[in-house]
Amino acid sequence: MIATASRHYYETQLPLSEDPLLIAARLADSGLHESYVVYENGGSWSYAGGVRAELVLDRDGARLTQEGLPAAVLPWSDQPLRLVSRLLAQVEVPYWRAYGWAAFELSYAKGGDRGHLSEERLMHLVVPRAEVRFGEGHALLRAADQETLDALVDTVVAGPPARGGQPRPLDVYATDATRYRAAVQHAVDDINAGELHKVILSRVVEVPGETDLTATYVAGRRGNNPARSFMLNLGGTEAIGFSPEIVVQVSEDGKVISQPLAGTRALTSDILVNEKLRADLFGSPKEVYEHAISVKTGADELIDVCLEGSVEVPEFMAIRERGSVQHLASRVSGRLAAGREAWDAFGAVFPAVTASGVPKAAAYDSIRRYEPESRGLYSGAVLTVDHSGAMDAALVLRSAYRKDGRTWLRAGAGIVGHSTPEREFEETCEKLDSVARFLVPADDGTA
């Protein structure tokens, strides 16, 4: 569909000398847009504010709304991601990029089964009214009108500093230990009975009081080295996160990459301790097995959508340091087969095997049986998708969430037959500390 001239973006470019992290925080805190997404991808940052086009997927189907146009609605089908693709093809904004999130529960319904769905949204994407793409030394600013573009320039160049504040660490060892350990033991029993090979079980930690999410993001990003990071306030859901791995990345020319991380030890300030923990990680049959079956599953999933013979594992069992933990990490890649697109790759690997289990269907049953509440954004994805067909989807872990006045953290551990409840609980605490030690109370924020 040909885009109309009235839907173009006004654009300008600016040189930058400031830390992109602070610019991202200032844009999020500017009040220019109630809805926004900040996304960091390997040194490139984006701010997406406001809504020109919006796509929502839920148990009833998919709906696209655009400025000045009637809504386009597609009823639920047995291929819900195809609905998303068809509606995005109708976006009339030139050179659009959509930003948003997918809930973990989308995994239950990728094949059309709505039996385990609630009324909650499964996916929420927006094409923004205002966008800033920036990194070291340079920024591209785009907006639907000149007034908004001028406001973006003012905020980027001369706006007030982002709020700071003193983090108040949260003790994540003090809650939920008994329930979580019991859940792990149930899952181990199921695995040893042959029901499945691996499942990731998570636990929730409530954050008391009011939290300044922007200040927490700044403090946490300085204390973490994530694969991706994000802030968002979209559709009533707020979150910040320091994603340790991608779900999938698809380039314009069809190259596909996934990045399974599985196998964990703590990361401390003591180099010698870290080396000892790393040796223990490589020497643990439980951790190596957990990682190996995750990589195999990731490769098998890409085979279904990639050219025959193109799927490979160019990196196997490296170490990635992510904030308060270190992981075994591998990379799986391939090239999309003819007639396939980014949404096919996303559907093949979502949810990440490192946040669900093996086999996935059995893992879903275990997750629903032993976890205290639905996951929502946790272990889903925050993603960008372009008019060109490129996609980048980050796994939502190491995050803080806020909705309806409630703020919480959530983390899980990979359970296999050799797992022990005590160690798996400890692993969740190690992961939670990636965020919990950087929480900034709202009343500690300073202008």
Active site residues: 245
In 59-115, alpha helices (H): 80-88
- Tokens 């109309």 appear where? 4
Who's near 331: CB < 8 A, 6+ residues apart?
Answer: 257, 258, 259, 313, 314, 315
Yes or no: say if 258 and 247 are a contact pair by the CB < 8 Å rule. yes
Distances (CA, A) of 155 to 24, 43, 49, 104, 150: 10, 20, 13, 34, 9
The DSSP result for 218-271, as a single string, is: HHHHHH---SEEEEEEETTEEEEEEESSEEEEE-TT-EEEE--EEEEEE--S-H
Distances (CA, A) of 151 to 13, 14, 18, 99: 14, 14, 18, 21
In angstroms, rounded to a whole number, what is the distance separating the alpha carbons of residues 302 and 312? 10
- Tokens 């805190």 appear where? 29
In angstroms, rounded to a whole number, what is the distance separating the alpha carbons of residues 100 and 39? 10
